[in-house]
Structure 1
Amino acid sequence: MSASMIEEEYCTSPKTKLVCTIALEMCELDRLEVMVEHARRLNEEKGHEMVILLDMKRSEIHKGDLGGESSTKIE
């Protein structure tokens, strides 16, 4: 298989997805900021986009500053 065929196959193949669960002990804002920054930097180096998914109870969505009182609950 030629190098161009390998490169073409890589570009059209599905990308690996990283899925993880963040434990309550890791929910401190400083730690979350560091993890997101590491992921952002890695994706920037590789030229891929990063998506963050949230798994939350029912239809609860909180928006606003992660550390402040400005969170809003949407139902």
Structure 2
Amino acid sequence: MSDQPPLLVTRDGAIATLQFNRPEAMNALDLATSEALLAALQGIAADGGVRAVRLKGAGRAFVAGGDLALLRADPVQGARTPS
């Protein structure tokens, strides 16, 4: 597991950029990434100064989908949705 946050959030004027940051897993969505995405989107929704959101992925993939390795390791925890 990486020391880096699973989602990087930057702002340039009215544009917020959300970069999925799990290139070793082709940016597959795990629970931590999903929770970070939800928190970032809630923050953006509350910020009247953001006019556009740009999504991108680190490395060679945007988002591979759900993290199947997590589901194989722990089907109950892996299927949990962020609260």
Q: TM-score band (shorter)?
A: 0.3 to 0.5
Greater RCO between the two (CA within 8 Å, min separation 6)?
2
Structure with higher Rg: it is 1
TM-score (norm 2): 0.39
Larger fraction in helix? 1
